[in-house]
Amino acid sequence: MTAAPAAARARRGTGRRRLLRWVFLLVVLAPVVYLAATFAAVWRAAHRDGARPAEAIVVLGAAQYDGRPSPALKARLDHVIELWAKDNSAAVVVTGGKQPGDRFTEATASATYLRAHGIPNDKILREVNGRSSFQSLADSAAFLKRRGLTRVVLVSDAYHAARIEGIAEEVGLDASVSPTPATRETAHAGRYAKETLAVAAARIVGFRRAAGLSNRVRDPDATG
């Protein structure tokens, strides 16, 4: 009389343990699989050149030293010059504000360098408030869309490509990324790990929220 209920309880216990094992595996493996897939996306974006005819070339800012581009920024600007030589109908958007104590914004240093290398001043638009990639691209998108320009090529370091492409899509730009060639091979593993975490988080909560910005996009003077 007691054998059947005991066997049933044993089966129920076995079923619960099996369910718990599957739940544990899903909890542990799902984030690992998600991060691995995101890393693969970051890596692919870094090693893909999305250069194409565009209405604007947008270069992400980097450090400048009293008006002179840092090596990282210079590499990006040199790549912009190469792209613009192939499609000199495109506007060039330089981005980036300044740190406390700086005399020049990253955008101003970039514009000066590009003018010295043959890009006309009337082709250069400036985003001068950006303190993050999201802010720079959101502000740039605001004045580009006002001009009816949405098809863009983004220029930055290779490991940065997946994130800025995601940001551009979120702010309404039709973007591809042409990374600076040297950075496709020189970025160390830590850079890719950091970008993987950033992109993984942003794909869940949104790039704006991940960047810690409010929903209001400022509309700066594009030529300031």
List the chain residues with pLDDT less than 70. Answer: 1-15, 17, 19, 22, 24-25, 187, 213-224
Q: Please check whether residue 156 lies inside any domain of the structure.
A: yes
Q: Please check whether residue 11 lies inside any domain of the structure.
A: no
Contact predicate 154/177, CB 8 Å: yes
Contact predicate 46/172, CB 8 Å: no
Domain containing 56 equals 46-210
Place of tokens 């060639």: 181
- The pLDDT score that the predictor gives to residue 12 is 55
- The pLDDT score that the predictor gives to residue 148 is 96
pTM (2 decimals)? 0.83
- The pLDDT score that the predictor gives to residue 200 is 94
Q: Please check whether residue 138 lies inside any domain of the structure.
A: yes
- The pLDDT score that the predictor gives to residue 135 is 94
- Is residue 96 left, alpha or beta, with left meaning phi > 0 and alpha meaning psi from -120 to 50? left
Q: Please check whether residue 139 lies inside any domain of the structure.
A: yes
- The pLDDT score that the predictor gives to residue 20 is 72
Tally of domains in the chain: 1
Q: Please check whether residue 110 lies inside any domain of the structure.
A: yes
- The pLDDT score that the predictor gives to residue 28 is 72
Going by their DSSP bridges, the two strands 124-127 and 68-69 should be labelled as unpaired
The residues facing 177 across adjacent strands are: 154
Q: Please check whether residue 4 lies inside any domain of the structure.
A: no
Q: Residue 184: which CATH number?
A: 3.40.50.620
- The pLDDT score that the predictor gives to residue 223 is 41
Q: Please check whether residue 21 lies inside any domain of the structure.
A: no
Place of tokens 């400022």: 218
Q: Please check whether residue 17 lies inside any domain of the structure.
A: no
